[in-house]
Amino acid sequence: MVYRCSEAIRSAITQYNAQATLINHPTITWKEIVEYSFLDELDLLHNSHLNISECDWAKLTHLEATHKYLKLCCTEEEIIHLNIKVC
């Protein structure tokens, strides 16, 4: 899990740096990220002009659909476990 997270962070840094160079914005390094002790010290998102409330994943209908889907997945798994216990 830690490996996947670090790979995701490295990928985000690469993508961020690619965009930052296009707009003459300072880039960041893996070492700088590792040295941050708190997420609020990370200014990466402070310079973003993206309004996350407009993203699809932030919409209430998508959130509700995701919750229902995850409950359905858990229900199917629970049925499997109960069938085993019944036997």
CA distance 87 to 78: 14
Total of domains in the chain: 2
- CA dist 73 → 1, 16, 19, 52, 62 (Å): 22, 34, 38, 27, 16
Predicted local distance difference test score (pLDDT) of residue 1:
46
Query: Are 44 and 6 within one domain?
Result: yes
* Residue 16 amino acid letter: Y
The Cα 17–Cα 4 span in angstroms is 20
Same domain membership, residue 54 and residue 28: no
The whole domain housing 16 covers 1-49
pLDDT at 31: 80
pLDDT for 18: 93
**Residue 28 and residue 68 share a domain:** no
Question: Are 60 and 44 in the same domain?
Answer: no
Q: What is the pLDDT of residues 38-80, one digit of tens each?
A: 555 555 555 566 666 677 777 788 888 888 888 888 888 888 8
Residue 7 has pLDDT above 70, yes or no: yes
